[in-house]
Structure 1
Amino acid sequence: MIDILVPYEQEGTKAIVRSWLVKVGEPVKENDPLVELETDKVTQEVPAPADGILDAILLDTDAEATPGALLGRLRPADAATPTAPEAATVEAPRPAPTNERPAPANWLSPSVRRAVQEHDVDPAEVTGTGRGGRITRTDVERHVAERAKAPEPSAPPPAKSGGVTSVPHDRMRLAIARNMLGSVTTAPHVTAVFECDFSAIMAHRKAHKDAFAASGANLTFTAYFIAACVEAMRAAPAINSRWFDDRLEIYDAVNIGVGTALGDKGLIVPVVHGAQALSLLGIAQRLTDLVVRARDGKLSGGDVSGGTFTISNHGVSGSLLAAPIIISQPQSAILGIGKTEKRVVVREAGGVDTIQIRPMAYVSLTIDHRVVDGHQTNTWLSKFVETLENWPLA
């Protein structure tokens, strides 16, 4: 038998089995997707470790999946079909849904229990379609969707000025809400704002974007921001840290998360690991790969974990300034980049003040005031702005 294991890169996150993509007895090829795992950040497919036939499912839908746990087993395609009775009972036929089951509280897996609490659902009102009539996450989600469509018996009629659309929270939105509330409750947020001239990086990008594209990299402004963050960390290392109750951990590795919008579903934050060791081309290549896989829903748990700092490029949607931007705990700071727009500025030329039009943007650093003070904050922003404004053309 060949074991199918929960990936170890899930460490640090809580995962559940979302769904099996293959039934017991079906053949698979190596690297074919077998099962989907879901965390509060990402849905991840676990591939088949070898060619074979799915022989047993040991962690079924809604089961918690810890790193290294045994999900199921494959048998080689040329092996004889086992006759042991336990092989036949692993995937026994599911009985038809029934309301005659023990008290619902005794039938709720941890993930289902969280779902009914989040959506304020009475388990007794949900028809279970799992084994023995147990309730699955899918049952809860279907119940919530049906409840949203049906009007409340005692609800007042819609106001004459317009109706109301009730949209149930999805898991990602609920996870974001919990994380945001936890951050502002835990850390005193303070924001400093600088102005930055993007003329130099715009000129460099215009001169080099085609060469980068030939190397498989989309040269975005975010790549420059990451590179400038690395330089700023050298000037104020405490920004690249995590706060714990008994210590502050300051990291040599600069692992920068980049907020990536997923439309109405919220956002996800893939991480560029080891940015301090990458060239601008290396950063752009890594970033291109992460953003494409984020929008295709193909990020792994390792792609969204281990961040030591985060960038929020909120200017892409039009805002000039957002403050405070909520820190991703237990990190110590987050960078905000506002919309780039042409502004009239005063620049000295030949010893004379001149009025010029430049592409400018507000850049902000929101810090955990337990970790650093204004001096380190302004030192970091000064170096960040200096790096971008003096970017060499070559």
Structure 2
Amino acid sequence: MDGTVDITMPAELEGTRAVVRSWLKSVGETVRRDEPLVELETDKVTTEVPAPADGVLLEILLERDAEAEPGALLGRLGARAAEPAAPTAEPEVCSRQSAAPAPPALEQVREHRLSPAVRRAVGQHGVDISVIRGTGRDGRITRADVDALVAARASAPASGSRIVPHDRMRRLIADNMLASVTTAPHVTAVFEADFSAIIAHRAKHKAAYERDGVSLTYTAYIVAACVAAMRAVPVINSRWHADHLEIFEDVNIGIGTALGDKGLVVPIVHRAQELSLQAIAARLHDLTARARSGQLKAADMKDGSFTISNHGVSGSLVATPIIIQQPQSAILGVGKLEKRVVVREVGGVDTIQIRPMAFVSLTIDHRVVDGHQTNAWLTAFVQALESFGD
């Protein structure tokens, strides 16, 4: 390689607020093309930037915790120094009776995966890597993970409590939630939905979907019902501007996906209005799997126009208000599915029945719509859920 090569913020992160989390190489170290070089973190995902070429890391222009703007220059690579010739001595022949080496222990494997910067920090602070839960790709331990443990250990009181420093994702989520409730007046309407039709339809088609490698979940039906409701009340699929309202043709639905103590991400089912139920289910299966394994890309979480919070999976019946993902205009909440006693008219006579029911809520930006449109959207949504046939 002649000259220098720029290391820049990836194109898929453009328009996203990113921060340099850690450098995986030090100045002067040799790198190979596509080797992970620097970690960038947004409020939704941590991304490793690969080396654009073989070479030596010449400069680090944005240090740890520096904010990276779209197209930012992160550092530079230079030409690789000449490598010494390989030794010509004959390899030592092992005895035929030699025992096979034992497989490396788990912590040896983890130690081998540490970047040089992380390895130095571990040695400097005497950190036991077995107690660290890595937040990098595939569970890799990052410099930020080591620093958080060291900070917590240093600031922990003698007894009575423990300090858990906020990671970057938690701080950015907090900022976004505060900004949303400060910006938009939130109002919530709650309806009740009968899932009998969905359960019957799923029981009939689940095996066929599985033969095609698709997991048919309740969330797929909820996404499809959202599309139907958007056709009835398209103003919900919009964005507020100071002097106009922008109503979107594409229904790009985000699905809140919890990552345990690491917060949550919101992958997007793009152009859901063009997808069949099976296509929605396949897209959800892929997005959810990659979200929980840390494999989402920035593009998977861009351009959402509406969001679903399926909070019932963790046990809550109703959550209100569910905070809107700015700059969207509304967010759907789906409560816990449970059997309830309801009154249904059969042949002109009221009957008491046990049905699978869930509370569904729509929290709206009251600048955008009023109660009439909110209730009309929920009415269409519930009707769609309750009318799934063969």
Query: Fold-level match, TM-score > 0.5?
Result: yes
RMSD of aligned residue pairs (Cα, Å)? 2.8
SS at match of 2:197: helix
Shift of 1:187: 1.3
1:40 aligned to 14, 26, 43, which one? 43
SS at match of 2:328: coil
Query: Which residue identity is paired with 2:153?
Result: E
Shift of 1:19: 2.5
Q: CA separation in 2, counterparts of 1:338 and 1:142?
A: 36
Q: CA separation in 1, counterparts of 2:259 and 2:29?
A: 36
1:315 aligned to 312, 316, 319, which one? 312
Shift of 1:46: 2.3
Q: Which residue of 1 aligns with 2:72?
A: 69
Q: Deviations over 1:268-289 (max 9, x none)?
A: 1111111111111221121111
2:198 aligned to 198, 201, 206, which one? 201
Is the counterpart of residue 148 in structure 1 residue 155 in structure 2? yes
Q: Is the 8 A contact 2:62 2:68 kept in 1?
A: no
Q: Which residue of 1 aligns with 2:8?
A: 5
Q: CA separation in 2, counterparts of 1:73 and 1:278?
A: 43
Q: Is the 8 A contact 1:17 1:59 kept in 2?
A: no
SS at match of 1:178: helix
Is the counterpart of residue 369 in structure 1 residue 366 in structure 2? yes
Q: CA separation in 2, counterparts of 1:246 and 1:383?
A: 29
Query: Which residue identity is paired with 2:9?
Result: V
SS at match of 1:40: coil
Q: Which residue of 1 aligns with 2:321?
A: 324
Query: Which residue identity is paired with 2:237?
Result: N
Is the counterpart of residue 285 in structure 1 residue 282 in structure 2? yes
Taking structure 1 as reference, are residues 209 and 46 closer, same or farther at Cα in structure 2, changes over 3 Å only?
farther
Is the counterpart of residue 256 in structure 1 residue 263 in structure 2? no
SS at match of 1:16: strand
Q: Which residue of 1 aligns with 2:137?
A: none
1:346 aligned to 335, 340, 343, which one? 343
Q: Is the 8 A contact 1:9 1:67 kept in 2?
A: no
Taking structure 1 as reference, are residues 218 and 35 closer, same or farther at Cα in structure 2, changes over 3 Å only?
farther
Q: Is the 8 A contact 1:309 1:332 kept in 2?
A: yes
Q: CA separation in 2, counterparts of 1:181 and 1:27?
A: 41
2:162 aligned to 165, 185, 194, which one? 165
Q: Deviations over 1:248-296 (max 9, x none)?
A: 2111111111111111222111111111111112211211111111111
Shift of 1:27: 4.6
Query: For structure 1, which runs of at least 5 residues remain unmatched after alignment?
Result: 82-92, 98-135, 152-157
Q: CA separation in 2, counterparts of 1:302 and 1:229?
A: 22
Shift of 1:139: 8.9
Q: Is the 8 A contact 1:335 1:365 kept in 2?
A: yes
Q: Is the 8 A contact 1:188 1:368 kept in 2?
A: yes
TM-score, normalization: structure 1? 0.76
Shift of 1:341: 0.6
Q: CA separation in 2, counterparts of 1:385 and 1:56?
A: 59
Q: CA separation in 2, counterparts of 1:139 and 1:392?
A: 54
Q: CA separation in 2, counterparts of 1:263 and 1:18?
A: 21
Shift of 1:58: 4.3
2:30 aligned to 11, 26, 32, which one? 26
Q: Which residue of 1 aligns with 2:240?
A: 243
Taking structure 1 as reference, are residues 343 and 260 closer, same or farther at Cα in structure 2, changes over 3 Å only?
same
Q: Is the 8 A contact 2:58 2:78 kept in 1?
A: no
Q: CA separation in 1, counterparts of 2:211 and 2:29?
A: 45
Q: Is the 8 A contact 1:148 1:167 kept in 2?
A: no
Shift of 1:76: 8.5
Taking structure 1 as reference, are residues 200 and 57 closer, same or farther at Cα in structure 2, changes over 3 Å only?
farther
Shift of 1:305: 2.1
Q: Is the 8 A contact 2:14 2:71 kept in 1?
A: no
Taking structure 1 as reference, are residues 33 and 283 closer, same or farther at Cα in structure 2, changes over 3 Å only?
farther
Q: CA separation in 2, counterparts of 1:291 and 1:181?
A: 26
Q: CA separation in 2, counterparts of 1:150 and 1:312?
A: 37
TM-score, normalization: structure 2? 0.76
Q: CA separation in 2, counterparts of 1:256 and 1:210?
A: 26
Sequence identity, in percent? 64
Q: CA separation in 2, counterparts of 1:309 and 1:46?
A: 29
Query: Which residue identity is paired with 1:306?
Result: D
The 10-residue stretch of structure 1 (9-18 or 62-71) with the greater mean CA deviation from structure 2: 62-71
SS at match of 2:216: coil
Q: Which residue of 2 aligns with 1:337?
A: 334
Q: Is the 8 A contact 1:43 1:298 kept in 2?
A: no
Q: Which residue of 2 aligns with 1:53?
A: 55
Q: How many residues align?
A: 329
Q: Which residue of 2 aligns with 1:386?
A: 383
SS at match of 2:68: coil
Query: Which residue identity is paired with 2:175?
Result: R
Q: CA separation in 2, counterparts of 1:198 and 1:238?
A: 26
